Amino acid sequence: MTILKDSECSDALLKQIAHFFHINSPKLTRSPYSATRFSTFEHTLGMQENSPPLITSALTLLVGLSGGLDSVVLLDLMVRLKQNLGQAKQMMQTCLVNDENQSFPKLNFTIKSIRAIYVHHGLSKNADDWARHCQMLCDEYGIPLVIQRVHVDTKLNGIEAGARKARYEAFKQHLLPSDVLLTAQHQDDQAETFMLALKRGSGPLGLGGMLPIRQLDSLHWHARPLLEFSRCELEHYAHTYSLKWINDESNDNDAFDRNFLRLNVMPILQERWPYFQQAVARSAELCQSQERLLDELLAPVLDSIIEKREQSLDIEALRTFTDEKRYAVIRRWCQLVKLHSPTNDQIRRIWSEVALSRQDSHAMVEMGYSPDQNVMLQVKRYHNRLYKVLLPVNTSNHDNLYILELNQSEIPIPQLTTTVTRERIIKDLLRLAESLQLTQDEIVRYKTYFEQQPITIRFGLPSSFQVSIIGQDRGKTIKKIWQIFNIPPWKRHFIPYFFIKDKLLMGGELFLAKLD
C-alpha cells in the first residue's frame, strides 16, 4: 500500500474522486493508483447512448453518514468533488495516466447536489451525540442533513441484520427520484464480508461480496465508491485533512461475527500476509465476474422458459438441463422473482421435492418471511410450472366481506396486503373492458355502476357459485372459472369479487359478469 506525503494529498483526493467516477473495474492491477484500476462510472451506470432513465448526467447524491471515519471521509470527498470537479477533470488526465497505452475517459457529468442522512438506531446511549456531530459537520459543509429515527426489529436475524434493514428502509424513504445513494464500505469491509461468506459455505455469488454499484430498487442506484480502498488509506486521508469522526463502541464487541473477524482474525492474517486484503478483494471480484458471465449466458435460457405474466418456470424444460445448469437457472429465477437469496439446500429441494412431486401434490419449499408484506414466501408447482407463492400471515382473522361506501375513497384489504380505492377498481374495470372489446355504451354502463353505488368486496366464494361471464356462452361455476383462467389453488381464496348490491359484476382482474 502506498502512503502519501501530506503535500501529495491534493493528488490523492483527485485519485479518490477518480475512483468514484471510474468504479467496478473488472481487474485489479499492480499499483493501487493505476489508471487501469478503474473502469468508467458512465459505463457502469449506462451513462452513454443506452443510458437508462434512472441516471442523468447531473448527479444528485444522498450520502449515508454515521459520523464514523469511513462516512466522514466519503462526505468530505464528495463535497470536494462537487467544488473542484473542473480541476479534477484536468488533473486526472495528468495524475492518473502514466501508461502511454492507456486512455482515460472524459468526465461528462457533474454533481448537482449533495444531501446526507444520519440513521438513529436508538441502540447506543451516544446516538444523540453522534447525530449532533453529523449535524455540525454538515453545517460546516453547508449541506442538508436528515436525521431519521428508526425502530430495530431484532426478532428475526439479530441486531446487526435488524439495524441494516431499518437503515436501508430509512435510506429508501428519503431518496428522491433522481438520487444515487452512497455508502462508505471499504476494502477491509469487503474482506470481512468474504470471510463471513466463506464461513457460511457460500458459492461464487456470496463470495463475490459487496458490489461497487447495484440497483437498489426500480428508481435508485446504490454506489460504494471506497470499496477498493483500505481503512488505513482512509485514516491517512482523514488525518491529513484534519477530519473529525466518532467511534461506535459496539465495534469493540467481538460477540458479533464481523467484529470478531475484524478484531481477532484479520490483524493476524494481515501481519502474516500484508497484501491479504487486496488478494481477498481480487478473489471477490473474480467471483463477481464469474456470476456476471453466468448471468449473461443464462439470461436467454431463463427468458425462454419463464411465463411473463406470472413469472412461473417450465418444469419440463428444466428436466432437459444438466444438474448444474438447472440449479443455476432456478437460482436466477429466485433472484428475478425476489425470493431472497436461496441456499443451495433450498435450490435442490425446489427441484427434488416440488418440481418432481406428483401433479396433485401440495409440496412446497419455504423461502422465508417478508415483513414488508407480512407474508410467507414459498415455491409451489401447478400444471408443470414452478410458482412463487405469497402466503399472508394470520388470514384466519380476516373478514371475507368489505363494503366501500359512496363516501369512502379507499378501504384496507388485508388479503391483498394493500389499500383498495374506487379509482383503482375502475381502472381494473376499464382494462378488462378494453381486453374484452366492449362497446363504449357497455363500458359506460359498467363504469356508472361502480361510480354511483357502494361496492361490496367478497373473498372465498363457494366453488359452486354460478355466474355468466362475458366471453362464455353459458353460466359457469366459480370452480370452472378458476380452471378456465388457470388459477393455482393457493390464489383462489385471495381473488376479490366485486358486487353491486347483490349482483357479482367483476372477479379480480379476470372477468366481467354479464349485466343482463
Annotated binding site: 66-71
Neighbouring residues of 27: CB distance < 8 A, sequence distance ≥ 6: 36, 285
Beta carbons of 338 and 217 less than 8 angstroms apart: no
Judging by beta carbons within 10 Å of its beta carbon (0-12, 13-18, 19+), is residue 472 exposed, middle or buried? Answer: middle
| Number of residues that make up the chain | 516
State the Cα–Cα distance between residues 155 and 170, nearest whole angstrom.
Answer: 19
Sheet arrangement for strand 455-458: 401-404, 455-458, 497-500, 503-507, 511-512
Q: How far is CA 155 from CA 47, 292, 304, in A?
A: 41, 34, 40
Of 206, 191, 200, the C-alpha closest to 288 is 206
Q: Are 137 and 129 in contact (CB under 8 A)?
A: no
CA distance linking residue 349 with residue 357, whole number of Å: 11
Q: Binding site residues for ATP, as ranges?
A: 66-71
Beta strand ranges found along 328-477 (DSSP E) = 364-370, 375-382, 385-392, 401-404, 410-413, 418-421, 455-458, 466-467, 476-477
Decide the pairing of beta strands 401-404 and 455-458: antiparallel
The CA-based dihedral angle spanning residues 53, 55, 57, 63, taken in that order and rounded to the nearest 10 degrees: 150
